[in-house]
């Protein structure tokens, strides 16, 4: 998911809403003898550690103020049908900010 690295008042650092690639995480889950259910995987501590390691690797390319500090894993993929993506698969930030307001607010607490 693309990251908006601009800061807004009251939101002093970047956060991320992460979705899991079903094929990739499914293979990982089978290899690690985990439940392949996306809801279960989104809440799994080992999946969080896996995502944190990937974020740490990606964050190394950015200045400290641009690095993603916190994240949450969504239990579903984004899609145009859900209204979260445009037909060309761009994130509808207004929709995301409205739909996930509570989740985003929690990342800043």
Contact 80, 86 (CB under 8 A): yes
- Predicted TM-score (pTM) of the model is 0.83
Length of the chain: 109
Interior angle at CA 84, CA 1 and CA 95, nearest 5? 105
pLDDT one digit per residue (tens) for the chain, 109 residues:
445 545 566 789 999 999 999 999 999 999 999 999 989 999 999 999 999 999 999 999 999 999 999 999 999 999 999 999 999 999 999 999 999 999 999 999 9
Domain boundaries, the chain: 15-107
């Amino acid at each position: 998911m693309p990251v908006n690295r601009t800061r807004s008042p009251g939101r002093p650092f970047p956060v991320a809403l992460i979705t899991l690639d079903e094929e990739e995480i499914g293979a990982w889950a089978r290899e690690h003898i985990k439940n392949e259910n996306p809801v279960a995987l989104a809440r799994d501590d080992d999946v969080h550690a896996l995502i944190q390691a990937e974020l740490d690797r990606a964050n190394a390319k950015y200045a400290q103020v641009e690095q993603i500090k916190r994240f949450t894993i969504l239990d579903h993929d984004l899609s145009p049908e859900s209204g979260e993506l445009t037909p060309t698969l761009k994130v509808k930030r207004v929709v995301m900010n409205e739909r996930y307001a509570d989740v985003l607010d929690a990342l800043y607490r």
